[in-house]
């Protein structure tokens, strides 16, 4: 049995260093199931309310979902939101049910959810849960053509005076054109798409993708209210130092298309 959560008729909820947010609700005390019924009635007026079950689950991410099957609405919420203020849970339920019914999400609830999601303490808790519960799928840095450790060390010496700590490095399990590389802060790992580990890939492109992800170590994400900047201005400025930046960007764009990029001797390093 879920404990009731307090939702004031009209009160001000203060988010960490993000100013006051006006919150309104019709009910003073609700369980998550009762809150979900109210959201259902708001989004689906006149429709019978099904049996509702809300569970907080120990997921390795903040992913939550709602499924309607056999007359039962089952909402599964990441336990990163367990203990969140009631208005935040209310906003999340609006997001989940609106998505389920393919309806637009009311702007106030989307705004409220993003404010909470971008709080530093919330994101730190999520990173901790991902480290504890999740596993990062990657292979060794030594590829068939390129050695990511050697490339990291060379770039570290050239652009960071050798001061950048080395995270876990590895190739992705599957070759991806859509994501050529990414830095996973929760597992402190840089993963490069296996698609780049082939003789036809210019070294310039591999170095650029690695350099881009290395910058994430130096310039973490920044949150500004409901917006999260993955590439803050300082990141963009530092990226300009990369030799052959425009040529590397053209290669990256070409690699993301259906055909591999055209190669020239000028792209080999």
Domain that includes residue 248, residue range: 148-267
- Report the chain's mean pLDDT, rounded to a whole number: 79
Task: State the Cα–Cα distance between residues 159 and 18, nearest whole angstrom.
Answer: 35
Q: Which CATH number is 41's domain given?
A: 3.30.2010
Claim to verify: residue 96 and residue 180 sit in the same structural domain: no
Claim to verify: residue 119 and residue 32 sit in the same structural domain: yes
Per-residue pLDDT at 216 exceeds 80: yes
Per-residue pLDDT at 9 exceeds 50: no
In a domain, residue 69? The reply is: yes
Mean of the pLDDT values across residues 47-58? 92
- Identify the band that residue 262 occupies on the pLDDT scale cut at 50, 70 and 90: very low
What's the pLDDT at 151?
A: 96
In a domain, residue 142? The reply is: no
Read off the pLDDT of residues 79-90 as tens digits, 9 standing for 90 and up.
Answer: 888 888 899 999
Per-residue pLDDT at 78 exceeds 90: no
Claim to verify: residue 129 and residue 152 sit in the same structural domain: no
- The number of folded domains in the chain is 2
Claim to verify: residue 17 and residue 115 sit in the same structural domain: yes
Read off the pLDDT of residues 119-162 as tens digits, 9 standing for 90 and up.
Answer: 877 777 777 776 666 565 567 899 999 999 999 999 999 999 99
Q: Helix or strand or coil: residue 207?
A: helix
Claim to verify: residue 117 and residue 187 sit in the same structural domain: no
Claim to verify: residue 249 and residue 166 sit in the same structural domain: yes
Q: Of 110, 133, 156, which residue constitutes the final position of a domain? A: 133
Q: Which CATH number is 202's domain given?
A: 3.30.2010.10
Lowest mean pLDDT among 91-95, 116-120, 190-194, 200-204: 116-120
* Residue 33 structure tokens: 């199931």
Mean of the pLDDT values across residues 221-227? 57
Task: State the Cα–Cα distance between residues 269 and 33, nearest whole angstrom.
Answer: 60
**DSSP assignment of 87-139, as one string?**
HHHHHHHHHHHHHHHT-PPPHHHHHHHHHHHT-HHHHHHHHHHHHHH------
């Amino acid at each position: 049995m879920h404990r009731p959560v307090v939702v004031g008729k009209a009160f001000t909820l203060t988010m960490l260093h993000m100013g006051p947010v006006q919150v309104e609700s019709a009910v003073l005390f609700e369980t998550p199931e009762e809150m979900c019924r109210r959201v259902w009635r708001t989004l689906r007026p006149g429709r019978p309310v099904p049996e509702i079950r809300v569970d907080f689950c120990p997921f390795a991410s903040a992913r939550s979902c709602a499924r309607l099957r056999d007359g039962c609405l089952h909402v599964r919420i990441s336990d990163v939101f367990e203990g969140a203020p009631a208005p935040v849970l209310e906003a999340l339920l609006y997001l989940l049910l609106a998505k389920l019914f393919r309806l637009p999400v009311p702007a106030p609830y989307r705004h409220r959810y993003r404010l909470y999601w971008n709080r530093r303490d919330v994101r730190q808790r999520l990173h901790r849960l991902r480290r504890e519960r999740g596993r990062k799928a990657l292979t060794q840095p030594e590829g068939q053509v390129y050695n990511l450790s050697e490339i990291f060390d060379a770039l570290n010496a050239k652009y960071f005076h050798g001061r950048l700590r080395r995270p876990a490095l590895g190739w992705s399990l599957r070759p991806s054109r859509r994501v050529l590389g990414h830095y996973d802060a929760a597992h402190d790992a840089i993963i490069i798409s296996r698609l780049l580990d082939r003789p036809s890939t210019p070294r310039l492109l591999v170095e650029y993708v690695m350099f881009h992800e290395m910058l994430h170590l130096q310039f973490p994400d920044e949150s500004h209210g409901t917006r999260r900047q993955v590439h803050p201005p300082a990141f963009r400025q530092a990226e300009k130092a990369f030799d052959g930046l425009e040529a590397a960007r053209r290669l990256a764009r070409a690699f993301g298309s259906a055909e591999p990029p055209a190669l020239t001797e000028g792209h080999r390093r």
